Amino acid sequence: MLHDASGRTITSLRISLTDRCNLRCRYCMPEDGVHFLEHAEILRYEEIERLIWVAAQIGVTKIRLTGGEPLLRRDVAAFIERSVHIPNIQTVALTTNGLLLPELALPLRRAGLSYLNVSLDTLHPRKFEEITRFPALQTVLQGIRAAQQAGFPALKVNVVAIRGFNDDELFEFAEFAHAENVELRFIEYMPFHGNGWNPNGFLSSDELKARLMERFELHPCKNAPSAAAKTFEISGRRGRIGFISAVSHSFCGDCNRLRLTADGFLRPCLHDNIEIDVKHPLRRGASDDELIALFQEAANRKPDVHRDFLTSTEPDSADGRAMVKIGG
Ligand code: SAM
Ligand code: SF4
């Protein structure tokens, strides 16, 4: 098993398949864009599979595929089909902006993908275009329906809550969760390199919950300790509401994750720039034991807790990566 210095057990690996994206969300991509990785810099599928295989030997049971936009990676369904058969891997999940789900939802489900999360920050076409810089709301809604029809259980919809942008849609989101029978999770807006972090746009989960409770009765669900979201049922309605409070209530103590960037670095923490190169050792022919040692190093260097973004005078790191280049 892979334990870190604080005794946390690592069971989950988030893998960025690409840093490319077909949207340009303002809270994720810097205003002046990003320099995308060259093809040769990105881990090949067989390299990622080797790393999953190694991680699975030391206790990783769950992988989540992300990016950039993971569905832009060619032949992603075939890669998932191979990944689900790696011994000890119990769950393969994926986070997507949903644009390619109308055509890919069914192949992904048939490939054995366990769970899907779709990101959607507004239910209004004009605002969708404002935040993502593309007029594509209808395609994402079609994608969510395609995922339902493909039979994905417990479909989750991620909403980054931003004061002054989508906090006038809270009741609409709750109605959407009921109408589509999905778990709609509000993610607290977080600072990343170049994303124009402005603490005034921050909206805490506590405030969101209090505002929703002005109209709806929320009943807490039982959540696993390592679950990022605290979820609630809405009285008399289908679907669920969840809150991911990485800023206001850090859940570092229960964090069971490592991240693998598209260019082959293990990141022990989303909010810390520590990175361990696994690509070059892999390409130089590292043995399984050498790769296991790199996973252990990543676990050893996992910070106990990330800094407090709301009070920190240095909320953004000049040499850090933009979110799109880490993998959310
Ligand atoms: N492209 C895919 C998508 O949008 O779902 C996967 C990658 S995206 C980086 C993963 C998640 O990170 C999305 O749910 C997105 O909303 C979230 N995210 C990106 N920037 C964020 C920020 N500044 N604060 C909070 N969540 C953020
Ligand atoms: Fe692309 Fe997802 Fe980032 Fe939006 S949040 S720019 S869809 S990677």
Per-residue pLDDT tens digits for 168-218: 999 999 999 999 999 999 999 988 877 777 888 999 999 999 999 999 999
Q: What domains does the chain contain, in order, with CATH numbers?
A: 2-326 (3.20.20.70)
Q: In the prediction, which pLDDT does 323 show? A: 87
Distance 141 CA to ligand 1 centre (A): 17
Q: Are 14 and 308 in contact (CB under 8 A)?
A: no
Whether 187 is in the pocket of ligand 1, judged by its Cβ within 6 Å, is yes
68 marked ligand binding residue: yes
Question: Average pLDDT of 132-154?
Answer: 96
Token pair 């489900």: residue: 109
Instruction: Tell how strand 115-119 and strand 218-220 pair up.
Output: unpaired
Which atom of ligand 2 sits closest to the CA of residue 68? 8
pLDDT tens, position by position, 23-81: 999 999 887 778 889 999 999 999 999 999 999 999 999 999 999 999 999 999 999 99
Question: Which mutation among 119, 134, 208 tests ligand 1's pocket best, with the greatest number of atoms within 8 A of CB?
Answer: 119
What whole-number percentage of the chain has pLDDT above 70? 96
Q: Does 325 score more than 90 pLDDT? A: no
Residue 221 annotated as lining a ligand binding site: no
Half-sphere exposure of 157 (CA within 13 A, CB side): 28
Ligand 2 cavity residues, CB under 6 Å: 21, 23-25, 28-29, 67-69, 97, 119, 324
CA–centroid distance, 287 to ligand 2, in Å, is 35
Binding site membership of 158 for ligand 1 (Cβ less than 6 Å): yes
Ligand 2 centroid to 280 CA: how many Å?
Answer: 27
For 304-312, what is the mean pLDDT? 72
Distance 30 CA to ligand 2 centre (A): 11
E strands of the chain, at which residues?
A: 2-3, 9-10, 12-16, 62-66, 91-96, 115-119, 156-161, 183-188, 218-220, 229-234, 240-244, 257-260, 265-267, 276-277
Q: Check pocket membership of 152 for ligand 1, CB cut-off 6 A.
A: no
* Percent over 90 (pLDDT), the chain: 77
Range from 50-54, 88-92, 107-111, 268-272 carrying the lowest mean pLDDT: 268-272
Residue 85 reports pLDDT greater than 80:
yes
At 270 the pLDDT is 87
pLDDT in tens, 211-244: 999 999 999 998 887 788 999 999 999 999 999 9
Question: What is the arithmetic mean of pLDDT over 119-138?
Answer: 97
β-pairing, 9-10 vs 2-3, is: antiparallel
C-beta of 18 in contact with ligand 1 (< 6 A): no
